[in-house]
Amino acid sequence: MDRRTVGRIASAAAVLTLGGVGYSAVVRSRNRYYDGPVTDHFDGVRFFRPGAATDRGVLDLARWQIAGGREAWPESYPSPFVDRPPPRVDDLRVTLVGHATVLLQVAGKNILTDPIWSERASPFRFAGPKRVNPPGIAFEDLPPIDAVLVTHNHYDHLDVDTIARLWGSHAPRVIAPLGNDSIVRVHDDAVTVDTLDWGQSATLGDGFAVHLEPANHWSARGVNDRRMALWGAFVLTTPAGTLYLAGDTGYGEGETFRSARARFGAPRLAVLPIGAYEPRWFMQIQHMNPSDAVNALRDLEAEQALGIHWGTFQLTNEKVDQPEIDLQAALEAADIPPSRFRAMRPGEVWTP
């Protein structure tokens, strides 16, 4: 292997870790984020899904990078939409801000998921995955934010600069899986983060509750903290119905979706990731493709699904608009109307 190839692999390892594409690396014997009892999904140092693999090895990463196949993205992929949301809504209004950042306006409350207004999904301003479209809602146009839900600590989901900015402007309730509070506190110790384990819940008042459920994913902020903070999906029970927010997840055998359906009933809305899935042999255990996402919709028996996590940050091989194309094909194959599962663009609004 020549020096240039080795350098490209090392660079890719760094960038892909920052962007949330998984591989196993250096082992540490102490958890820097969380100190809690051993459970059926925490061994005292690292979290895990019982019976499920979520990480790839360094040799797998090298194989991916040497094989190539990464489609070129445009420097700019602007959305035709922009939103200036109302202060409150009585029923349900959903806007994709970009990537996995979604504004849920539900029965008088405003909730953000995985907020990132930064230009890069990275700890650096000069390197790492860069946005190809601006946020679909300008930060200054946000309505009052009551709560922020963070699914895991990858840089494209936990942007500490945005969390601190939201705290300074809105002082929302911030809820995240175990260990993620430590990451935010190091950046800004004024921010309060409430943490949940899988199966635990928090109330937001006025008939709202947030429930953390398992997902087939993993966590890391660098190469030495693999799975030291928990990750998960959220179920939001509200006066306007139940919402399922998948975060990042592989499909697995569909068990996480069927379990949520059994526990909470069929959701009114499922927000599902449809991007960052190629090459499939590498990504399958941690990210769904559109066909997987259609299976998740059927497992959940959701009335409506919205597709996110595509077209803003390039993390994997597929071209910028491939998730939308593949979703339409998967829906046609499953005989599901396209209106029931929409691939959202930044600034686009869905209302029932």
What mean pLDDT is reported for the chain? 92
Residue 30 three-state SS: coil
DSSP string, 286-330: T---HHHHHHHHHHHT-SEEEEES-SSS--SSS-TTHHHHHHHHH
Tens digits of residue pLDDT in 64-108: 888 888 999 999 999 999 999 999 999 999 999 999 999 999 999
**Structure confidence at residue 247 (pLDDT):** 96
Helix (H), strand (E), coil (C) string for 37-95: CCECCECCCCECECCECCCCCHHHHHHHHHHCCCCCCCCCCCCCCCCCCCCCCCCEEEE
**Structure confidence at residue 95 (pLDDT):** 98
**Structure confidence at residue 10 (pLDDT):** 41
**Structure confidence at residue 1 (pLDDT):** 45
Q: pTM value?
A: 0.93
**Structure confidence at residue 3 (pLDDT):** 44
**Structure confidence at residue 91 (pLDDT):** 97
Domain boundaries along the sequence of the chain? 92-350
The stretches in the chain having pLDDT less than 50 are 1-18, 23-28
Is CATH 3.60.15.10 correct for 92-350?
Answer: yes
**Structure confidence at residue 22 (pLDDT):** 55
